[in-house]
Structure 1
Amino acid sequence: MTGFILGVLAGVYLLDGYALEKHDDSVTQVSTIDALLNGLYDGVLPYGELKRSGTFGIGTFEALDGEMVALDGNFYHVKADGAVYKLENAGMNYTQFQDYLDGTMRAKNIFHAVKLEGAFYSVKTRSVPRQEKPYPPLVEVTANQTIFEFNEVRGTIIGFYCPDYLDGLKVPGYHLHFITEDRTAGGHVLEFRVKDAQLSVDYSSQIRIILPDTDEFNRLDLTESKKEEIEEAEK
């Protein structure tokens, strides 16, 4: 047996539970049954961390939303109507998603390609209109961006993680875009909340760069850091 869990999972969080660490006989308890009896139903532990604690167990969810079954490393959510959903980071938002990947990625100094495909409770994206010369700075363009909000939508989020030391070359950290399953809508990802999606991650230690061969590019002063502007433009 590679792990045992008995606990309370809240959305993507564990509330009350305990789990055997892999290859040993210890039990990990998160919160207590008395806390539940006193109405403490808020989440405590991210689902990504819970999966690393064991492969077999039981529990419940945030706001006491149904029952959890963990079997052979797979986690299932049994709703009050009897329907069963397989958990793949269900309920996870963009910030929690980044934290989860940060804790599981192979190495932070190389590139990672990310794909999250399936159903989402919500996705918030943006796009910008075509610009005319003389082109304004990117932060001015994104200040007038168009926001799109999708609810109960299926689609795919794709993008890349770029190491921080390449600031100025790429957007540092995570840069993700979304497209709906029917390929009719999408945009630059600002926020999302997962319902039932499959995560795929690949990595590469190589990058090929094609620089603009224009007078405008060659005259640019690229020695000044634009990190704050990147963060403003991308978020």
Structure 2
Amino acid sequence: MTQTLFQHGTLALLVPGLLTGTLTIKELLEHGDTGIGTGEGLDGELIILDGIVYQVQSTGHIQQVTPDFTVPFANVHFANYRSLATFNELNQEQTYHQLSDLIKAPNTFYSVKITGTFAKMHTRAAAKSQPPYATLLATAQQQREFQANNVQGTLLSYYSPQLFHGAAVAGYHSHFLAADKTTIGGHVLDFVLTTGQVQVQIFDTLQQHLPIDNSDFMQHDFTKDNINADISQAE
């Protein structure tokens, strides 16, 4: 059975500040029940679990979004994970290293879901900006960071091959949501895992969807942008 990752937009289009929402959540959920993304104007961080879309705002408040909420960028897929392992007492670098060693799929996309207890969780969420939008780096500076200790929850990550850096961010791109849906969430900056059940889903198909009805995207000259460096710095 084909395993498809659906991606709307690219990280590269965020670099020059093409932050207009170009797909609704209702449309996005036609392509998956699990995923991550951001809202129009980098309006917080999204994590999608079991078909429910949670938005972590820059205030730290976590809420569900409406079907007409729009996104400039998101990854989604229909969950069909398989159990991989139980991880204990690992920091972020050790976790990602062990994942890569066990999965052995550096040249394709896959998703990892870790459900468990985290001794430390450090996340961020960007504040929504208004048009005319600034660049990704400028907008990302208007973010809030959050930390929690001994928190239970779900870390949802997408791995992208180095070949696709720009379309996505090479390596692991992770979002987190606390089990109580209130304590902490957002784009993951750092963590220490106490214990967690690890699941993986490897994709053989990338469905890349582009906002061709958006004139700013269609007419923008990306050769003038420092895409790789700006994505690496912002992420």
**TM-score calculated relative to the size of structure 2:** 0.60
CA distance in 2, matches of 1:232, 1:96: 21
Based on CA coordinates, which of the two structures has the bigger radius of gyration?
A: 1
Match of 1:165, SS? helix
Q: Do the aligned residues in 2 keep the contact of 1:168 with 1:225 (CA within 8 Å)?
A: no
Instruction: Determine the structure 1 residue equivalent to 2:6.
Output: none
RMSD over aligned Cα atoms: 1.5
Q: 1:116 aligns with which of 108, 114, 125?
A: 114
**TM-score calculated relative to the size of structure 1:** 0.60
More deviation in 147-156 or 206-215?
Answer: 206-215
Name the CA shift for 1:233/1:105 in 2 (closer, same or farther; >3 Å): same
1:222 matched to 2:222? The reply is: yes
CA distance in 2, matches of 1:222, 1:103: 35
5+ unaligned residues in a row in structure 2: which ranges?
Answer: 1-84
5+ unaligned residues in a row in structure 1: which ranges?
Answer: 1-86
Instruction: Determine the structure 2 residue equivalent to 1:38.
Output: none
1:198 matched to 2:231? The reply is: no
Alignment of 1:159-170 (within 5 A): 159-170=157-168
Q: Do the aligned residues in 2 keep the contact of 1:164 with 1:172 (CA within 8 Å)?
A: yes
Instruction: Determine the structure 2 residue equivalent to 1:173.
Output: 171
CA distance in 2, matches of 1:221, 1:105: 37
Deviation of residue 98 (structure 1)?
A: 1.3
**Greater relative contact order: 1 or 2 (C-alpha under 8 angstroms, separation 6 or more)?**
2
Which residue identity lines up with residue 233 of structure 2 in the other structure? E
Match of 1:91, SS? strand
Identity among equivalent pairs (%): 32
Which residue identity lines up with residue 203 of structure 1 in the other structure? I
Q: What's the CA shift string for 1:113-158, capped at 9, x where partnerless? A: 0101011101000001111001111111222310000111000000
CA distance in 2, matches of 1:195, 1:106: 24
Match of 1:192, SS? strand
Q: What's the CA shift string for 1:45-87, capped at 9, x where partnerless? A: xxxxxxxxxxxxxxxxxxxxxxxxxxxxxxxxxxxxxxxxxx9
Count of aligned residue pairs for this structure pair: 148
Instruction: Determine the structure 2 residue equivalent to 1:7.
Output: none
Deviation of residue 225 (structure 1)?
A: 5.2
After the TM superposition, which segments of 4 or more aligned residues of structure 1 sit over 6 Å from their partners?
Answer: none
Q: Which has the higher strand share?
A: 2
Which residue identity lines up with residue 147 of structure 2 in the other structure? E
Instruction: Determine the structure 2 residue equivalent to 1:144.
Output: 142
Match of 1:109, SS? coil
Which residue identity lines up with residue 232 of structure 1 in the other structure? Q
CA distance in 1, matches of 2:140, 2:92: 20
